Amino acid sequence: MSNVQTMGFQTEVKQLLQLMIHSLYSNKEIFLRELVSNASDACDKLRFAALNDSSLLAEDSELRIRVSFDEAAKTITIEDNGIGMSYDEVIANLGTIARSGTKEFFASLTGDQQKDAQLIGQFGVGFYSAFIVANKVEVLTRKAGAALTEAVRWVSEGQGEFSIEVIEKATRGTSITLFVNEDGEKFLNSWALREVLRRYSDHISLPIQMEKEEFNQETGASIKTGEWESVNQANALWARNKTEITDEQYKAFYSHLSHDYNEPLAWSHHRVEGRSEYTQLLYIPKQAPFDLYDREAKRGVKLYVKRVFIMDDAEQLLPSYLRFVRGVIDSSDLPLNVSREILQESRDVKLIRDGAAKRVLSMLEDIAENRSEDYMAFWAEFGQVLKEGLGEDQANQQRIAKLVRFASTHNDQATQTVSLVDYVARMKEGQDKIYYVVADSFANAKSSPHLEIFRQKGIEVLLLSDRVDEWMLTYFREFDGKSLVSVAKGGLDLEKLSNEEEKKQQEEVAQELKPLVERLQVALAERVKEVRVTARLVDSPSCVVVGQNELSPHLLRMLKAAGQ
Ligand code: ADP
Ligand code: MG
């Protein structure tokens, strides 16, 4: 009886395959980057697992990736001796997309090929990119530690289904064979494959090997020699000397880490010595990933210890408000068997985290100062996340505050371009506070009646309407020695900004209106604490304000909505 099983792909996989084949037509060579990247991950995982169980490496301990092709059979094969996959893992990994946010991703597709190609780039196409150049893909894999007879063969034509069976395989690891389509034929030669490998995979820290070829001068043909040679430098990019790394290499390494086809906005590569020794290579992306606000989403920094990969997504290495940063941190001090629990308590990790946060803030300061257009683009993508830092990172609060941008009555534009430094520079004679109004939309903030007196006096007010603002303000109370004050709170203390004439007039009006105020006070006794004559309105007859120490109406509404 045959043990071949046929199974259907998850709906999302079918959608992804369709999309990829149609929208990534101009970037076909990325299949090689993705498959080599998976092979390299598989070797990293094995090396890590072997720290606890060296028998997993058995007699085949030189981890490497091999790329070969067969012109006659029209196949390209990418083979590794890494961790391999079990039967169940093959089904899960090569039949579904197990990433958080997958649903949201598909919902965000527009049907416009160019836009979708961008989105798909951010999503990361991974293994399925094999079908860009192949009309059939065969995967043979044996998990490290499994018996020879417990290997798996997976085959698919990238339509709706795949077949899977248990086979015997002599070697550990995974071999992926692409039966190329017309588009893939141009990769059926050594020169083309080497060129793509050099471009995309030079930073990979293991040897990528191809068969050596000899050129026969008489016949003009190349013949394979059966000997393997490395086509990359095979030392970790971040461990190389900065002066030996080109921008192109930094960018290629970024796409490897992030699956993002866009170039990074900036990067910073440093070796830190002293109390804690580590190397950090950190990137700021241009574009937000689709799952930026998903708390479950992977964080971007990978942890290595002395070049050995330890874990992805090491959230202890950067504060959460910098979760958009991608990169690698390689520590010389942490133990190789470090666990997430140890990371949480480690003093070395705390030093690394503080250092990394400072490094990212300096990168941002540099962009803000020298590349203002790029900074505005950064702000539009990640500003809301960075604002969380005002609450989350007290130690760096004032530095972050200088990086934050707001909308304000200075230009009444929804685009957030005003920095607190600009605001302070424009403060009026005698003004010692920074004023803001919070509302649930920019339009409501801009038309708030509380602004009337400020507009009349020419005092700038920050217009806040982002979801995080109210939360942020409970932690962020002061900038540059000036307190932040809501224009919707009582006792605004604007007298200092009025002249004698205005003050006298205000007192007269107050006297005149006293009987009215008393009548209102009685009529509204159940509903308000106090009725007062105010100088804060210009056109509107009245407004509701909250006491100095009370919750704002906006926050009250939010708490109510949350069922509190
Ligand atoms: P990603 O690499 O982002 O996880 P991919 O689509 O590239 O997504 O790969 C899906 C999964 O398939 C990987 O996470 C891994 O578990 C498994 N996989 C792919 N290629 C290999 C390989 N060469 N060896 C072992 N596992 C692999
Ligand atoms: Mg991958």
Give 85 Cα–ligand 2 centroid separation in angstroms.
14
Is 340 annotated to bind a ligand? Reply is yes
* CA-176 nearest atom, ligand 1: 23
Q: What is the DSSP string of 124-142?
A: --GGGGHHHHEEEEEEEEE
Tens of pLDDT, residues 177-220 = 999 999 999 999 999 999 999 877 878 889 999 999 888 888 87
With a 6 A CB cut-off, is 332 part of the ligand 1 pocket? no
**Whose C-alpha lies nearest to ligand 1, atom 18?**
38
Amino acid occupying residue 481 = G
- Closest ligand 1 atom to the C-alpha of 89? 16
Least confident range of 7-21, 28-42, 192-206, 516-530: 516-530
Find out whether 518 is annotated in a ligand binding site: no
Q: Is the CB of 126 under 6 A from ligand 1?
A: yes
d(CA 383, CA 400): 11
Running DSSP on this structure, what letter comes out for residue 54?
Answer: G
Which range scores top for mean pLDDT: 29-33, 466-470, 506-510? 466-470
- What's the token pair of residue 517? 């105020």
- Residue 311 CA to ligand 1 center (angstroms) comes to 15
Report the percentage of the chain scoring pLDDT > 70: 87
Statement: residue 325 has pLDDT above 70: yes
Closest ligand to C-alpha of residue 77 is: 1
Report the separation in Å between the CA atom of 241 and the middle of ligand 1, taken as the mean of its atom positions: 30
Instruction: Return the ligand 1 atom nearest residue 80 CA.
Output: 23
**pLDDT (tens digit, 9 = 90+) per residue, 386-433?**
999 999 999 999 999 999 999 999 999 999 999 999 999 999 988 999
Highest mean pLDDT among 11-25, 223-237, 540-554: 223-237
Average pLDDT on 436-441 reads 95
Least distant ligand from the CA of 129: 1
Q: Is 383 annotated as a binding residue?
A: no
Distance from Cα 93 to the centre of ligand 1, integer Å: 6
- The percent helix, strand, coil of the chain (3-state, each to 5) is 40, 20, 35
Better pLDDT: 436 or 539: 436
Span 69-80, pLDDT tens digits: 999 999 999 999
pLDDT at 2 (0 to 100): 65
- In this predicted structure, what is the pLDDT of residue 265? 96
State the average pLDDT over residues 460-487. Answer: 95
Question: Per DSSP, which regions of 412-538 are E strands?
Answer: 418-419, 433-438, 461-464, 478-479, 482-486
Tell me the three state secondary structure of residue 155: strand
pLDDT at residue 144, rounded to an integer: 97
Token pair listed for 325: 């940063």
Ligand 1: residue whose CA is nearest its atom 3: 126
Q: How far apart are CA 548 and CA 550, in angstroms?
A: 6
Span from the CA of 89 to the centroid of ligand 1 (angstroms) = 10
User: Does residue 92 surpass a pLDDT of 60?
Assistant: yes
Name which residue sits closest to atom 1 of ligand 1, judged by CA: 126
| Ligand 1 center to 309 CA (angstroms) | 16
How far is the centre of ligand 1, averaged over its atoms, from the C-alpha of 9 (Å)?
A: 16
Which strands make up the sheet holding 405-408, listed edge to edge?
A: 418-419, 405-408, 461-464, 433-438, 482-486, 478-479
Mean pLDDT of the region 337-365 = 89
pLDDT range class, residue 1, cuts 50, 70, 90: very low
Cβ–ligand 1 contact at 144 (below 6 Å)? no
User: Which is the closest atom of ligand 1 to the Cα of 125?
Assistant: 6
For residues 219 and 188, the answer to whether their CB atoms sit within 8 Å is no
Report the chain's mean pLDDT, rounded to a whole number.
87
Residue minimizing CA distance to atom 19 of ligand 1: 38
Burial of 268 (0-12, 13-18, 19+ CB in 10 A): middle
Q: Which amino acid is at 49?
A: A
Tell me: is residue 85 an annotated ligand-binding position: yes
What's the CA gap between 240 and 205, in Å, rounded? Answer: 11
- Contact status, residue 194 vs residue 127, Cβ threshold 8 Å: no
287 labelled binding-site residue? no
Q: Is the CB of 82 under 6 A from ligand 1?
A: yes
Distance 53 CA to ligand 2 centre (A): 25
Distance 94 CA to ligand 1 centre (A): 8
Which ligand 1 atom is nearest residue 259's CA?
3
C-alpha closest to that of 203 among 261, 241, 245: 245
Nearest to 505 by CA among 532, 530, 533, 539: 533
| Beta strands per DSSP E along 9-123 | 65-70, 75-80
Q: Is 210 annotated as a binding residue?
A: no
pLDDT in tens, 107-159: 777 777 667 766 766 676 789 989 999 999 999 999 999 999 999 999 999 99
Is residue 75 lining ligand 1, measured as CB closer than 6 Å?
Answer: no
Kindly state if the Cβ of 124 falls inside 6 Å of ligand 1: yes
Q: What is the pLDDT of residue 468?
A: 92
Ligand number nearest to the C-alpha of 80: 1
Give the number of whichever ligand sits closest to the CA of residue 123. Answer: 1
Query: In this structure, what DSSP letter does residue 207 have?
Result: -
Worst-scoring range by mean pLDDT, 4-13, 225-234, 303-312?
A: 303-312
Q: How confident is residue 508, by pLDDT bands cut at 50, 70 and 90?
A: confident
Beta-carbon contacts of residue 539 (< 8 Å; ≥ 6 apart):
449, 452
Please tell me the predicted confidence (pLDDT) of residue 279.
Answer: 96
**Residue 277 · residue 270 · CB < 8 Å:** no
Phi/psi for 69 (5° steps) reads -145, 160
Nearest to 180 by CA among 168, 188, 191, 172: 188
Measured from the CB, is residue 83 less than 6 Å from ligand 1? Answer: yes
The pLDDT of residue 204:
86
**pLDDT of 11 over the 70 cut:** yes
What local confidence, expressed as pLDDT, does residue 548 receive? 59
DSSP string, 336-381: TT--HHHHHH-HHHHHHHHHHHHHHHHHHHHHHHH-HHHHHHHHHH
ipTM value, please give it.
0.99
DSSP string, 158-194: SSSEEEEEEE--SSSEEEEEEEE-GGGGGG-SHHHHH
Token look-up 């997993």 returns 56
Residue to substitute in 30, 93, 139, 309 for testing ligand 1 pocket (most ligand atoms within 8 angstroms of CB)? 93
Closest C-alpha to 485, from 423, 533, 530, 543: 423
Task: Find out whether 101 is annotated in a ligand binding site.
Answer: yes
